[in-house]
Structure 1
């Protein structure tokens, strides 16, 4: 069964170009205690600080917090893009990520060749590969562009291909940033329906979002990050009223307007 265990996780990044002007811009980081020095006197920004939680099958999690709270860093660390400085992450189950539509793509290959390559890497049979290829072609609506190199695609086309491929593989664990739900109205509607289908399955969904509507519709759990710390972990009914400073009934009522 899929699961994610995060224990004592901390992530820091070096602060480059530490001149007076830049440091003035980082005053809020000094005040919040997010800047520290390593053994070489290099200034580091603490993006995540002592994060602990466990996700199990059926958890559909919304990551909330102000910009810079650490949401994207947490997603990228769970996805294996960043290496923990302190602590560890243990993941059971296959993962798909919607963080960057071009991650893992070969821009010199065609869209169709990229689909087949990813299926081959994941060990899918010829039959499974054909089914996934047909699913991506139908969802992305790229038509003949599937047989052109990805480097010729617009950013919107890359998004369609990346989203279609990632969600067609039916991952046990899906991690995504809400900005993937952007583009033309037709794509947003199709993408939303597909994510809702995934969310309804008994797998794990983790989405970074500023949208109370997404939280209310898709999530049964909320992790609130604040200045690199996990400030609160609970249900939407528990977390959103405190995070948004208004009653949950009012939040839901506003979504209906």
Structure 2
């Protein structure tokens, strides 16, 4: 069976300005001065594959390139070089609030997100109560999202995400925002995903979760792959190299 995700020699660099020229006087006095930039190599020749039905973890310190990698997998960023291939329906759950309209109610946002994801009106109606029930936000369904806390937004976003058909799910650390009881409720769905043969790429700093759920883990540091293997081996290496130093 072909891999669900193939990443080959992927690199990504961002240009970060050293200074922001915001004042009219500076533009007037130095109209031809070109701003200087610093190159931030977020990913450097990253290569790995994720098998169909695999629960795949990505760990690493802040700034190691984890979120950049997920955004490339999701098609949000385009790599400077290298190749990415994702097979099947992709559902990215990687940034809190993306796709939501804060001026609309939860009810309207559920309908809007479901429609954008390709659900028919009949499918949306059939799933609506399940989405609301999982989120436990029934009392707040007609409240505008601008009045929601970050924890409430996580509840709503994840509840929608798991009701939309997918083959590959990308999970960033947004679940860390939710309360512990809801996190455990989300983690219970991981077992269902495994039983259904779903492919999940999971980014987290929580090594215990990696060891609990993942089949394999990738360690990123300074944009480069440092290790790829069993969750316990990679987590131990992370503790040794990064946490202990």
Report TM bin, short chain: 0.7 to 0.9
Residue equivalent to 2:5: 4
Q: CA deviation at 1:237?
A: 4.2
Matched, 1:14 2:15: yes
Deviation at 1:244, TM superposition (A): 2.9
Structure-2 change in CA distance of 1:73 and 1:161 (3 Å): same
Contact residue 101 and residue 163 of structure 1 kept, 8 A: no
- Of 26, 47, 50, the residue aligned with 2:45 is 50
Distance 1:173 1:69 in 2: 23
Mark the runs of 5 or more structure 2 residues left unpaired by the alignment.
Answer: 21-34
How far, CA to CA, are the matches of 2:216 and 2:190 in structure 1? 16
Task: Give the match's secondary structure for 1:51.
Answer: strand
Q: CA RMSD in A?
A: 2.3
* Rounded Cα–Cα distance in structure 1 between residues aligned with 2:75 and 2:103: 25
Does 2:78 correspond to 1:83? yes
Distance (whole Å) between structure 1 residues aligned to residue 3 and residue 145 of structure 2 = 32
Q: CA deviation at 1:186?
A: 2.5
Q: 158-167 or 141-150, which moves further after superposition?
A: 141-150
2:96 equivalent among 97, 101, 108: 101
8 Å Cα contact 1:2/1:204 also seen in 2: no
Per the normalisation by structure 1, the TM-score is 0.79
Counterparts of 1:191 and 1:200, CA distance in 2: 15
Aligned match for 1:223, one of 218, 232, 236: 218
Task: Flag the 1:166–1:6 CA change in 2: closer, same or farther, 3 A.
Answer: same
Q: Distance in 2 between matches of 1:185 and 1:236?
A: 23
Residue in 1 that maps onto 2:110: 115
Q: What TM-score results when the alignment is normalised by the length of structure 2?
A: 0.83
The CA deviation at 1:239 is 2.5
2: distance between equivalents of 1:41 and 1:103?
A: 31
> Is 2:179 aligned against 1:196?
no
Structural mapping, 1:231-250, within 5 Å:
231-245=226-240
Q: Which ranges of structure 1 fall in alignment gaps of 5 or more residues? A: 20-39, 247-257
> Which residue is 1:172 aligned to?
167
Which of 166, 176, 179 aligns to 1:181? It is 176
Decide whether the 8 Å contact of 1:199 with 1:218 is kept in 2: no
Q: CA deviation at 1:245?
A: 3.7
User: Structure 1, residues 84-143: CA drift from partner, whole Å, max 9, x if none?
Assistant: 111221212112222222111122222112211222223223332123211111011111
- For 1:227 and 1:2, locate their aligned partners in 2 and report how far apart those are by CA, in whole Å: 26
Determine the structure 2 residue equivalent to 1:25: none
